[in-house]
Amino acid sequence: MAGDVTIFAQMSALAVQTGALNLGQGFPDDDGPAEVLEAAQRAIREGVNQYPPGRGMPVLRAAIAEHRQRFWGERLDPETQVLVTAGATEAIAASLLALVGPGDEVLTVEPFYDAYAAVTRLAGATHTTVPLRLVDGRFVLDHDELRAAVTGRTRVVLVNNPNNPTGFQWTREDLAVLVEATERVGATIVSDEVYEHLCFDAEHVPVASLPGAFERTIAIGSAGKTFSVTGWKIGWLTAPADLVNRVLAVKQWLTYVNGAPFQPAVAVGLGLGDDFFTGARDSLRGRRDLLMAALTDGGFDVIRPSAGYFTVADAAPLGITDANRACRELAHQVGVVGIPFPAFCHPDSSMGRSWIRFAHCKDERTLTEAAGRLAAMPHPA
């Protein structure tokens, strides 16, 4: 791992170098809501420029707690059960470093967001996986496989709901199996829900809302995805006070704190009306549909994502067998950058060798232009 550059940084650099359209790294083209941007500028003008409190500014912690209650019916104490972090990334890293070490296992589904494997390694623990299965064009979790994957050594199950890269959403039944399995072995659930508001086809079910789950769950959110401000790096976690304290003990030595003027701005965002949240979702759903249609026209086999920023498509019908190589060639030859799906799998996994992840969180002009380029790709005879 030492010295490795993330696949997202590699592919963004390739997009810059070749002038290709960047449907790789997951950041939107448009900025977030004007009220939120203005609130950050106001905070800077008004002198909110020094270290905020270690747990985060009270106004943001209160807004996070209110947001969890408004959308997911959860009652939280903002003093003890909420922690503001430097993006979801720090929430994930601090949680794993607090909870696992050598000899412990961290279980995720495969495919998984790249940071999960890297941080598990940093913590000295072992990364285990249970595969998503593609059945009739949809990803599903096999409950027997999930139960069997949670062993006596599993200290944390790191859930990504909705999942990056596939947009797979855990169903209530999947989550019930998970809660029971973690109770059986005394494991903690760390639930990365950064795409919680971007669910197109089914409601989001936060695992902490299931009976018996809150006590063993750390739920993670991020302003980056919800408010299209990925560069602000304001994230948070909510959990029982004892778990928050354990994570805080690590977090204070990572960043200690971050983003003072962005914190009250994110509080403004979390308090926006329902129309903002449904509008952001509906707009992204439209762009997902646009990209899916374009990829289908271009000859890809598209796997419909029910949530999130990304669409996964199989390039095998185009004669492509190695997505790693194809993504580099596509940048030069077609002028579009995607992320090879194997970057989200173990190196020895055979899953999705010819699959590519494309970001649909870009603006319509970029997606339409990319669509034209992909549709003009040479097809096998």
Q: Considering the rule CB under 6 A, would residue 6 count as an interface residue with ligand GLN?
A: yes
Please give the torsion angle defined by the CA atoms of residues 93, 217, 200 and 283, in that order, rounded to the nearest 10 degrees.
Answer: -50
Binding partner of residue 194 among ligand PMP, ligand GLN, none, CB cut-off 5 to 8 Å per kind: ligand PMP
- Exposed/middle/buried for 278, CB within 10 Å: 0-12, 13-18, 19+? exposed
Is the distance from CB of 63 to CB of 267 less than 8 angstroms? yes
In the complex, the smallest distance separating the C-beta of residue 194 from ligand GLN, rounded to whole angstroms, is: 8
In whole angstroms, what is the distance from residue 235 CA to residue 192 CA? 11
Pick 130 or 320: Cβ nearer ligand PMP: 130
In the shown chain, the binding pattern of residues 139 to 178 toward ligand PMP, with x for contact by CB under 6 A and - for none, equals ---------------------x---x--------------
Q: How many residues bind ligand PMP (CB under 6 A)?
A: 14
Instruction: Measure the N-to-C terminal CA separation of the chain; round to a whole number of Å.
Output: 41
d(Cα 109, Cα 141) in Å, to the nearest integer? 9
**Between 127 and 233, CB nearer to ligand PMP:** 233
Binding mask 317-356 for ligand PMP (x = CB under 6 A): ----------------------------------------
Site string for ligand PMP, 107-146 (x = CB under 6 A): ------x---------------------------------
Are 375 and 134 within 8 A, CB to CB? no
DSSP result, 271-284: TS-HHHHHHHHHHH
Q: Does 72 bind ligand GLN (CB under 6 A)?
A: no
Taking CB under 6 A as the rule, does residue 8 contact ligand GLN?
A: yes
Does position 25 bind ligand GLN by CB under 6 A?
Answer: yes
* Subset of residues 159 to 198 that bind ligand GLN, contact rule: CB under 6 A: 164
Q: Is 172 helix (H, G, I), strand (E, B) or coil?
A: helix
Among all chains, which residue has been given the structure tokens 């669409």? 311
In this structure, what DSSP letter does residue 208 have? G
Q: Helix crossing, 7-18 with 323-333: angle to 10°?
A: 20
Residue 18 interacts with which of ligand GLN, ligand PMP, none, CB < 5 to 8 Å by class: none
| Residue 6 partner contact from ligand PMP, ligand GLN, none using kind-dependent CB cut-offs of 5 to 8 Å | ligand GLN
338 binds ligand GLN (CB under 6 A): no
Of 214 and 358, which CB lies nearer to ligand GLN in the complex structure? 358
CB-CB contact of 311 with 162 (8 Å): no
**161 binding partner (options ligand GLN, ligand PMP, none; Cβ < 5 to 8 Å by kind):** none
Nearest approach, Cβ of residue 139 and ligand GLN (Å): 17
Q: Report the interhelical angle of 87-99 vs 114-122 (nearest 10°).
A: 40
Q: Does 311 participate in binding ligand GLN (rule CB under 6 A)?
A: no
Instruction: Return the amino acid letter for 288.
Output: R
When binding is defined by CB under 6 A, the residue of 104, 174, 192, 196 that contacts ligand PMP is: 192
**From 65-73, 81-89, 202-210, 334-342, span contacting ligand PMP (CB under 6 A):** 81-89
Which backbone phi and psi does 100 adopt, to 5 degrees? -130, 160
- Report the alpha-carbon distance of residue 218 to residue 84 in Å, rounded: 13
89 is a site residue for ligand PMP (CB under 6 A): yes
> How far apart are alpha carbons 1 and 231 in whole angstroms?
24
- Chain contacts with ligand PMP (rule: CB under 6 A): 26, 87-89, 113, 160, 164, 192, 194, 222, 224, 230, 233, 235
